[in-house]
Every structure is written in structure tokens, then in C-alpha cells.
Chains A and B, each alone.
Chain A
Amino acid sequence: MFAQLADIHLPVTPGTDLVLLNSLCHVVLEEGLHDEAYVRAHTNGFEEFADTVAAYDPTSAARICGIDEDTIRTVARLYGKADAAMSIWTMGINQSTHGSDGVCAINNLNLITGNVGKPGGTSLSITGQCNAMGTREWSSCSGLPGYRQLENPAHREEVASFWNIDPAFFPKARGLFQTDIFPAIETGQVKALWVIGTNPMTSMPNTPRIRKTLRKLEFCVVQDAYEDVETADYAHVYLPASVWAEKEGCFTNTERRVNLTRAVTAPFADSKPDHWIFTALAQRWPAAATMPWPETPEATFEEMKRLSKGRGRNLDISGMTYDAIEAARGIQWPMREGDDRSCEGQAPRAASPCEGQAPRAPRGAPRLYTDGVFAFPDGRAKLLALPYVENNERPDDEFPFWLNSGRVVEHFHTRTKTGKVGDCNKHSPTPYMEMNPDAAEALGVAHMGYARLVSRRGDAVVMVQRTQRVPNDMVFVPFHFHECVNRLTLGLLDPHSRQPAFKQCAVRIEPADQREAARWNASMRTF
């Protein structure tokens, strides 16, 4: 929808965003549109970066990324000459073998054009869940709370003394990334798994492989609000967890805004809030004896506040309280203890937290990096040299279509929730693909008929929606459905973030037995 509302739509070849971004930087530098003073004062690594992007002239880049050289130049000039420019992206950039590189390339572009920390200029990643940011802040990605790292002895020491345990309790390096756990199960390195609120049987690429992997586990615990979550088929133990409205707690969204939900109803049946489950389990370990175990999420939040304090820490929430968050409908960190961020009685002024806000309640800090100081020892941002490496599956004679997967607005993740909510589910109650009408015509695939998709990993049957929304060498399939698009996806991992490249693989399209496909479709939709 946004593409058609755009002044300029760049239908980039899947997986080549990095080439386009490098080429945009190439033109910006070539035409002197960069903010030289900003680059000199606030960044490192310019020479190596400039050397790398020099190879991405629009003529060469166009052949790889599919955007013609004139358009690349036009967009680069628009971006370079703008008083302020902003880049907003989601999974289209992230879920790629160059996902991290793509994000860093966006940061490169905004750094060299000085579009960081000023009104109207920023890099903004829209995350997929309300608390995607919060989980990273508070160590869900195998680290220590408050962006602290296990690899850092000072951090281990600091947190150990806070929790009253021996620093040796902590491993000296982070554990496996989520996506690396599955290969580790395959090799026998991991034998037990505790899956919390996620559904790899539907969401991970290459379903056939994940099925074999989960069957190999000697012990599997699934903790989820929905007992029928497909991964629970492979669980030895199921822990029923509460849904959001049955528990309280904070979450941080993409703009660093900490918000609060309070329980509006008691947990269903014998389900328990995750906080209760974690605490109850942890207390059965010997190491827990000396540690404090706050009984409520709010008491835990008080603990997080104390852990968030410290010089040079941006993630500082020590000035927040549950009540203040609720009154302000969310507060952006940093919000330090003693910060007077209340807008009451202050004239709203530019670059203040009250800018454009009604004077009402504490607001926190709406903008970071206004002073050009970044969270590195020398205070400078890093410009990164990011050469593009071609390493993913591409369409060929045998599998001539690009397969792109993604979200639709009515469903959340693997439909464990929205598949049961009629007002959401009715907008796409069965798996389908968007296919270009010309391609469909050539293959004799009917609008509202069924077709079979085949990749090197497996196959999937979907209903066909003919639409010019997609090019004639690509199909789009929502990822929400079990035994559907992820039976096909390859999902090579990004070298840094370890996110799978969901959005690029190759498939062919075959006619399906309509009656059998319909029967199968109905049998798969039992909830």
C-alpha cells in the first residue's frame, strides 16, 4: 500500500538493498552532497567507507539491484539535498543475508548526510512486536540487563554484586543465537529446549528441517498462552502462560517509549504470568538462594531502574514509575532520577522534551544524539565499509519465481491468537498468494483457485489472488499460516544478527487438484 502512495517506489531486486544503499552513498559523495563537517566531527572510518562505496557507481549497481541509474542518482540527490531526511524500515531490510549490513548502510547514509539527532532526520527501525526493543534492552538476547555484555568482566562484576552472587556464575560469553540453537540440536550439542512465546514450527524457515530438529530433543518445554501452538506438539512439558491483559508489566517500543499494561482480568484457568513462572522455577536452583526475587513486576521494574543508572548510560529509566508512565501514556528513555522533564508550566521550545507536546506529564527524552556524541569510547559513530556478497538463492529455470513472504495487517505472527479472533481472521482465513495476473494467465492459474508452490525444501498449497501488486516473476505469501510458506523458505542466516533471510528464495508454481486442495485447506483450519 505504501509503495503505491509513494512519490518514488524503488522495486529493488530481493536481497540487494545493500547495493542500492552503497550506490546512493556513492552519488552523495561523488556530488559532494554529504555534510563534511558532521562527518569530520562525529564519525570514524570515512576513508575505508568511501573506498568501498566508490565501487558502487550507479551504472554497475543498477545491474544488481534492479533500479536504473537515473533513479539512483535522483533519489541520492533528493536525500542529500534535503534539509532533513528520515529512513524508516522493517523486515524487508532485516530478513536478508545482508540484513545487518543493510541497516548499517542506512546509518551510513544518514551519518554522511548529517541526518541523525535532528528534527525530521533519523534512522528508524519499526520492530515487529510491541516489546522487541524491551527484550533487547533487558537481556533476552543472551546478555546482561541494560545492554550489558557477558563478554565484559566489569559488567559481569557489576550485575553479580547487584544480585548478590559470585561473578563466576555467569558464562564468559553469550550463548547461541536463537536461530543457531536449531543446528546445535541437529548436531547433538543441545538436548533440551525451553520455548517461550514463540512458535518455530510455523515461524522458522524450512519447516521440514525444524520438525526433524524438534523431534531430536530429549526434553522440550513450551511456555505459551495457547496450548494449540504447533510447537507444543513436540513438547514434553507445556506451561500455560497468561496473555497480556491478564498480567502487568512494561514494554519498550521502537521510539524508546516505555509503556505499561495492567491486568484487566484474572489469568485464564491455571495459566500464570511469565514473571510468576520464571520466579517459581528460578527459586528451585541453588544459586537463587542469595538473590533477591521481587514478587511483582513493579518491584522488578524498581530493580531495573537501579540497574539502569550510571554515567554515560542512555538506557536510564530511573526517573520513571508505573504511575508516571501511566499518567504520561508512556515515557521515552533516558529519564534519569531527578530529571525535571515535566512540561507543566514550561513554554514548549524547540529541541526540548516538550516540543510540540501538550504540557501534561513527564515526557522523557524524545531525541537522542542531538550533540553528535555516540555510545562509543571516543564518542564517534562508525561509518562501516560494507561490500556486497552474492550468496542467496535466486530464481532459475527450474524454480523461476521469487518467493517473498511477509505480514498482513489482520494477523499477528503465527495466528495462535488472531486465527481465533473472527474480526481479524475473516480478512484472510486461509493461506493465499498474491500472483501477477499475467503470470497466472500464462500458467492457467485461476483467481480464487488453488495452486501448488514447490521449492528445493518442500511444497505448499495456497489460494491464488491475482493482483498487479506483485511483479510477474514474484509471488507473495503471508507467513502467518502453519505448513505453508515456511515449508518453502531457505532462510540463510545473516552473519551478524542471525536473522533468517525469509524474503528471498526461488519457487515454481504447479497446478493443484482443486478438490483435494480444498479438502486439505479445510482440514488445516481447525482453529
Chain B
Amino acid sequence: MIPLRSDEPDYAKLKDAAAQTLNRYGNPIQLLPDGDNGVSLHINGDAGIGDNPNRTRQHAFHFTADNCIGCHACEAACSEKNDLPPHLSFRSVGYVEGGTYPDYTRINVSMACNHCDDPVCLKGCPTRAYTKHAEYGAVIQDPDICFGCGYCTWVCPYNAPQLDPVAGQVEKCNMCVDRLEVGLKPACVSACVGNALDFGVVENAPEGREQTDVRIPGFPDPAITKANIRFEHRNPTPLEVTRPDSAPVKYRRDTDSAFRPVVDPKDDPGEGAERRWNWSRLSSRENPLVAFTLAVQAGVGAFLTTFLAGHGAAPVALAALVLVGLGMAASTAHLGKTLRFYRGFNNLRHSNLSREALATVCFGAAAGAYLVADLAGWPRIALGIGATAVAAGIATIYYMVRCYLIPARPFWNHWQTAAAFVGTSLALGGWFGLALVPGAPLALCWAIAAGLALEVAGLLGHARDMRAAEHEGAVSHYVQTTTFGRVYRLRNGVLLANLALVGALAVAGVTHPAPWFAAALLGMAAGTAGRALFYVVVVPTTMPGAFFWRNKGFEEHAREIGLAANPAVGVTPTDH
């Protein structure tokens, strides 16, 4: 246990005299049966159990936005306690502002991990680096287990897990459980000079506070994860608040006083509604995932379409095996710690990512086995193995889709993701089949046409829904149609033209390879551009940043002009 100073200030001490039974989500606050005081958290090897009387109750931060002056003391205290490099912060203060001078309002929001009832990070993490403890309800992540895939940073709606591109791992707020064990509030809370940040058993309002609200401008829907954060915010708010960072999002007050995200064009002469190419910005740290998804979808699609069309053959199985192998290699390259790739299967119970990885490996193994059986001339065995590969392939695409259906990324959380993945599998797979199976059936041509049609339908539905959406998906779509507007239009044009071409070829029964080869090239180009767009335009539901810190636009600028070479700028020279 950490030693208590003799003159520890009173404001740093936890003071929860009583607790309610259920939290606002209907879950019990007491996390273990009466009399069970939990187990040791083994903090720094200490086997002791703290004497905190509320040890087995869910705790939460409480933030009074009216009192926050944006002094950054909480962030500094956190960074000091956790010995973080400048580019990393478990807690960040961002802000939104509204009104016109001098009737101006700035609302600062200090946000760390919300130690949710339903920690989507824990469920998403393929390595089981996360634990939801019955002690304090803390969600604690172990960087020694993490392999740095960053998936938890996608699924968390609050930007709590921090991917460190330098260390190649994720770290996050640990609730300062070492301080809780001896009755002290977390370091950030104890450092707050404005009496804005507080901490205690969830649903308890701190001394002098009335509200335990879960809404504040810019804060995502707490129902996604049943977040354990409570707010007090009694000052009047403007009708609309904007963000100082580059994200083209602002928040508009609804009739029920909730703030909803809408597109903020930022009135920027450089950006604005102008459609631009920005080819170079299509490249991102997710490039390996563009390769992974396209290759695996092509491999799975090639095997499935040919096998189901009754033309299963060794060359296709070999191609599928190679494609899946390349895809897996690309996804491993995406990891912060590639040598720990084997940990990707640790969380089959909860993680779609683990399931996707396992299904992909099974598919690859089955394709390989099919290849052997086919070459060995065992048609019955090959048939059985082929059926297995089909099942594994379907599972692969299914879990791949599920990985992206996450509420924290509304742009992806749409049936278009499924349409795109299945459509790509059919189209790319069909082309591989045509190229590799001599005398390929017309069915493969129709599979390609169906795949392209499915993609077009998905994009149409997606565009319609995103335009009308009241979430960050609308913002992503705005970025897609402005910053990347020309790429987006070109891709759409190529896709439609290709659909027309493929449809015409299929109807006419043309099997000459030349036009199909041209269509395949067009399809791959459009598919790659589309997939790159899919990754770069997504706007998560995260909290607003500040003008420099947590401003994606500034981070990009700092990298571009070389400012990021200075560690004190807080931006890493590369983001992967």
C-alpha cells in the first residue's frame, strides 16, 4: 500500500458514507456479495487488500463543467503519476464554445476512462488485456498483454484507451486504484484546483453537488457502454457549440436539451464545401488493413464462388491460400508488437476480432487442405474439406463485418459495411475465379455483377442515411464528399461504369478474357480507393479536443512540417 502523508489534504480523501443499490442502468453498485471484500489487486507486487470500506462498489468520476477553467492540472497530475511521455495522456481536457463576444461560453470537459458497466474495450480486445475488476469496478488494461492492434481505441466511444505508436501498445487510465486502496481520490481529482473533478461511489453526488447527469455537450451516448461518469452542468448553454479542433463537427441543442452532433463546415476557405482530391491523405496507418480486408475477401470470395459453382480447383485454392496469407501478414504488420500475433485468439468468448482471426486461419487451413486433397486426387475428401472452407469463409466475412459494426464509429455501423465486404468478396473472388478456372461458368460473371450491384446498393443506402444522420456518420460523409470529394465521385463513377460493363458482358455471354481483365483492373482500383476512404473518413464519437492538443488537424500539420520531431510538441513523428 502506498504510504499516506501525515498532512494529506482533506479534499483528496474519499468520503462516501452511503451508496445506492442500483445504478441508473439498473445494475447493482455493490459488485460482490455482502461480506466478500474481493481479492488483492497485486499493485506493484503487493498482495495486500486495502481498507477502503467501499472497495467492492462501482466507482465513477464526477465532473462539474461549470467549475472547470481548463488549467490542465488533472492532465499534468495524471501524466506525472503514470510517468507518461508527452504524446500520451490518459486524461485530456477538450472544450466546446458557443455564443458571440462578449456573450461567449466555453465549456471545458476533462475526460479519462469511464470504467463502464459494459466495457466494449474489454469485449473487443482480442488479447484479453482488459479486466473489469469487482474491486472499485475498475477497468484495467495490461500493456504487457496488449499487442497494439488498437481495436479498443476504435470501439471506445470516449477515446479512453491510448495507442502509443512509439511503444506499440495501448495504455489507459487505471483509476489510481493504488490510491483508492488507502482511501485517497485519484491523482487527477486531488490535483483539480477548480473543484470540478471529483470521484466516489457511482450515483453519489459529491458534497455541494446536485446533479449526477450523464449528458454534456460533445459527450457520446452513455448507453453504448453504460459509462460510469457523472456530470453537473447548470450554467446556461448556447444553442450551438463548436469544437476548436479540425473535426468538422459541432453540436446543436435539441428540444430535450441534449446536444447532437451535426456537420460544421468550419467556414474554412481552404476546406469548405469544395470537392478535392487529396490522394496523399488517403494513405493512413490503416493501410495494412486495406490490404488485409481486400486480400482476405478476394481469397474467400474466389474459393466460395468457384467451389459453389461446382468448379473448385487447386489453382483457386492456392490463390485463396496465398491471398489469405498475404492478408494475415498485412494485418500482423499493423500490430504494435508483431511477435505477439498469436495472442490474437485469446478472447474468442467476447471479441469479434479474435473470432475473425480464428475463422480466417481456419479458412486458410481448409483451403490448404483442399489444395492437398485436390492434387492428391481425393475428390470426396476434397468435397468435404471444401464445404468446411466455405463455412469458415462465411464465418470470416461475417466476423469481419461484425468488427466494424461498432456504435463508436457510426459511419461504419451501417449495413453498407456488410454490403461492401460481401460485394467485394463476390466481385474480386469472381475475377480470380475467371482468371484461374479454365472454361469458367457464366455463374462467376453473374457473381461479379451481383457483387458490384450489392456495393452500389450499399453505397446508395449509406449516402442517403448518412446525409440524414444525427451523428458523426454525417460528418464522415461530409468529409468524404468534400475533402475527398473528387476521389469519392471518381470511385462511384468507376463502380457504376464497371457494373454496366460487367452486366453487359454477362448478358451478352462474352467470355473473352480481355474485357473481363479490364473490368477486373477497374474493380480493384475502385475497391482499393473505396476501402482506403472507408478508413480515413471515419469520425469517431470521441470528445472534442483543444486547439493544439488532441487536434487531428494540428497533428497532421506538425508531422508535415517537421514540428513533430520535437518530443515536447506532443505529436509523434509518425502515427504508426
Chain B residue numbers with a CB within 8 Å of A468 are 97-101, 104
Contact of A426 among B70, B244, B562, B569 (CB under 8 A): B569
B413 at the interface (CB under 8 A from A): no
Task: Check: A525 CB closer than 8 A to any chain B CB.
Answer: yes
Contact B548 A426 (CB under 8 A): yes
Please state if B570 and A426 are interface contacts (CB–CB under 8 Å): yes
Task: Indicate whether B266 reaches chain A with its CB closer than 8 angstroms.
Answer: yes
A296-304, A440-448, A451-459: which lies at the B interface? A440-448
Nearest residue (CB) in A for B566 is A525
Min C-beta distance of B94 to chain A, whole Å: 11
Instruction: Give the shortest distance, in Å, between B171 (CB) and chain A (any CB).
Output: 15
Report Cα–Cα, A426/B549, bound state, in Å.
6
Contact status A4-B568, CB under 8 Å: no
Asked if A428 meets B548 with Cβ closer than 8 Å, knowing A422-B568, A448-B554, A449-B270, the reply is: yes
Contact A467-B97, Cβ < 8 Å, known A419-B568, A423-B75, A525-B563: yes
Q: Are A470 and B568 in contact (CB under 8 A)?
A: no
The distance from the CB of A483 to the nearest CB of chain B, in whole angstroms, is 16
* B166 interface contact, C-beta 8 A: no
Q: Hey, which chain A residues are within 8 Å of B267, CB to CB?
A: 437, 441, 447
List of A residues within 8 angstroms of B558 by Cβ:
429
B residues near A430, Cβ cutoff 8 Å: 548, 563
Please give, as numbers and ranges, the residues of chain B lying within 8 Å of A409 by CB-CB distance. 70-72
Taking the complex as formed, is B23 at the interface, i.e. its CB lies under 8 A from any CB of chain A?
Answer: no
List CB contacts (< 8 Å) of B257-311 with chain A: 266-271
Interface residues of A in 464-520 (CB under 8 A from B): 465, 467-472, 518-519
Please report the C-alpha to C-alpha distance between residue A444 and residue B271 in the assembled complex, in whole angstroms.
12
C-alpha gap A370/B343 in the complex (Å): 72
Residue B85, interface by CB 8 Å:
yes
With A465-B244, A527-B566: A3-B102 Cβ-Cβ less than 8 Å: yes
Chain B min CB distance to A414 (Å): 15
Across-interface contacts of A313 in B (CB, < 8 A): none
Q: Which residues of the other chain, A, contact B563 by a CB distance below 8 angstroms? A: 429-430, 521-522, 525
Is A446's CB under 8 angstroms from B269's CB? yes
CB of B546 within 8 A of chain A?
Answer: yes
- A contact residues around B246 at 8 Å (CB): 448
B86 A425 Cβ-Cβ under 8 A: yes
Which B residue sits closest to A410, measured CB to CB?
Answer: B72
Among A421, A427, A438, the residue within 8 A (CB) of B549 is: A427
Chain A, 377-417, contact with B by CB distance < 8 Å: what is the 0/1 string?
Answer: 00000000000000000000000000000000110000000
Contact status A425-B101, CB under 8 Å: no
Q: Which residues of A contact B266 (CB under 8 A)?
A: 447
**Do A1 and B69 touch (CB < 8 A)?**
yes
A472–B270 touching, CB < 8 Å: no
Q: How many A-B residue pairs lie within 8 Å, measured between CB atoms?
A: 116
Write the B68-88 contact mask toward A (1 if CB under 8 angstroms, else 0): 011110011001100001110
Category for how many chain A residues contact B = 35 or more
Q: Which residue of A lies closest to B558 (CB)?
A: A429
- Residue of A9, A430, A468, A525 ringed by the most chain B CB atoms within 10 A: A468
Q: Known A425-B570, A429-B548, A429-B570; judge A1-B97 contact (CB<8 A).
A: no
Closest chain A residue to B86 by CB distance? A422
Chain B neighbourhood of A469, CB < 8 A: 97, 101, 104, 106
| Contact A429/B561 with A3-B102, A468-B100 known, Cβ cut-off 8 Å | no
Distance A470 CA – B569 CA, assembled complex (angstroms): 26
Contact A426 B270 (CB under 8 A): no
Question: Residue B515 at the A interface, CB < 8 A?
Answer: no
Q: How far is the CA of A432 from the CA of B554 in the complex (A)?
A: 12
> A4 near B244 (CB under 8 angstroms)?
no
A420 contacts partner chain B, Cβ-Cβ < 8 Å:
yes
Contact with B along A65-97 (1 / 0, CB 8 A): 000000000000000000000000000000000
Contact of B101 among A421, A427, A470, A519 (CB under 8 A): A470
Q: Is the CB of B561 within 8 A of A522?
A: yes
B209 at the interface (CB under 8 A from A): no
In the assembled complex, the CB of B6 is this many whole angstroms from the nearest CB of chain A, namely 11
Residues of chain A lying within 8 A (CB to CB) of residue B569: 422, 425-426, 429, 525
A294–B85 Cα distance when bound, in Å, is: 42
A292 CB–B CB distance under 8 Å = no
List B contacts of A471 (CB < 8 A). Answer: 101-102
The answer to whether B561 and A426 touch across the interface, beta carbons within 8 angstroms, is no
Q: C-beta contact mask, B540-576 vs A, less than 8 Å → 1, else 0?
A: 0000001111010110011011110011111100000
Q: Is A436 located at the chain interface by the 8 A CB criterion? A: yes
Inside 8 A of B346's CB, which chain A residues have their CB? none
Chain B residue contacts of A525, Cβ below 8 A: 563, 566, 569
Cross-chain contact A427 with B269 (CB below 8 angstroms): no
Bound-state CA distance A446–B272 (Å) is 10
Q: Are B97 and A423 in contact (CB under 8 A)?
A: no
Do the beta carbons of B86 and A423 come within 8 Å of each other?
yes
Q: Do A448 and B553 have beta carbons less than 8 Å apart?
A: yes
Q: Which residues of B contact A470 (CB under 8 A)?
A: 101
**B85 and A472: CB pair below 8 A?**
no
Q: Does A11 contact B (CB under 8 A)?
A: yes
Report the minimum CB–CB distance from B24 to chain A (whole Å): 29
Contacts of B66 in A (CB 8 A): 5
Docked-complex contact B561 and A518, CB < 8 angstroms: yes
CB of B388 within 8 Å of the partner chain: no
Instruction: Chain B residues near A522: list those with CB within 8 A.
Output: 561-563
Residue of A nearest to B554 (CB): A448
Q: How far is the CA of A376 from the CA of B568 in the complex (A)?
A: 51
Q: By the criterion CB–CB under 8 Å, are B75 and A518 in contact?
A: no
Please measure, in the bound complex, the distance between the C-alpha atom of A428 and the C-alpha atom of B549, giving whole angstroms: 8
- Is A427 touching B72 in the complex (CB atoms < 8 A)? yes
- Nearest residue (CB) in B for A11 is B102
State in angstroms the CA–CA spacing of A470 and B104 once bound together: 9
B174 contacts chain A at the CB level, 8 A cutoff? no
Q: Is A448 a contact partner of B79 (Cβ separation < 8 A)?
A: no
Tell me whether B131 is interfacial, beta carbon within 8 Å: no
A423 cross-chain contacts in B, Cβ below 8 A:
75-76, 79-80, 86, 570
Q: Compute how far the CA of A11 lies from the CA of B100 in the bound complex, rounded to whole angstroms.
A: 13
**Distance in Å: Cβ of A121 to nearest Cβ of chain B:** 24
CA–CA, A425 and B560, complex, Å: 19
- B residues less than 8 Å from A436 (CB atoms): 101
B191 to chain A, nearest CB (A): 12
Residues B561 and A521 in contact, CB atoms below 8 Å apart: yes
**A56 vs chain B, min Cβ distance (A):** 23
Tell me the bound Cα distance from A452 to B175 in angstroms: 45
Taken together as a complex, chains A and B put the C-alpha atoms of A313 and B74 apart, in Å, by: 42
**Residue of B whose beta carbon sits closest to that of A360:** B7
Chain A residues lying within 8 Å of B560, measured Cβ to Cβ, are 518
Q: Is A4 touching B105 in the complex (CB atoms < 8 A)?
A: yes
Question: Looking at B99, B269, B271, B553, which has the most chain A CB atoms within 10 Å of its CB?
Answer: B269
Expressed in whole angstroms, the minimum distance between the Cβ of B29 and any Cβ of chain A is 33
User: In the complex, what residues of B have CB within 8 A of residue A465's CB?
Assistant: 244, 547
Contact partners of A438 in chain B: CB under 8 A: 100
CB contacts (< 8 Å) of B102 on chain A: these are 3, 9, 11, 471
Given contacts A448-B554, A521-B563, contact A422 B72 (CB under 8 A): no
Q: Contacts A422-B568, A448-B246, A525-B569; is A1 near B269 (CB within 8 Å)? A: no
In whole angstroms, how far apart are the Cα atoms of A426 and B87 in the complex? Answer: 8
Chain B residues contacting A9 (CB-CB under 8 Å) are 102
Q: Complex formed: what's the CA distance from A525 to B570 in Å?
A: 13
* Interface residues in chain B, defined as those with a beta carbon under 8 Å from any beta carbon in chain A: 66, 69-72, 75-76, 79-80, 85-87, 97-102, 104-106, 244, 246, 266-271, 546-549, 551, 553-554, 557-558, 560-563, 566-571
What are 15 sample pairs from A and B whose C-beta atoms fall under 8 A apart?
A422-B567, A423-B75, A423-B79, A423-B570, A425-B568, A425-B569, A426-B569, A426-B571, A427-B548, A427-B549, A429-B569, A432-B548, A448-B547, A449-B270, A468-B99
**The 4 A-B residue pairs with the shortest CB-CB distance in the complex, in nearest-first order:** A422-B86, A426-B570, A422-B568, A429-B569
Known contacts A427-B546, A428-B548, A448-B554; 18 additional CB pairs below 8 A are: A1-B69, A4-B106, A5-B69, A11-B102, A420-B568, A422-B87, A422-B569, A426-B548, A426-B569, A427-B548, A441-B267, A446-B270, A449-B268, A471-B101, A472-B101, A519-B561, A521-B563, A522-B563
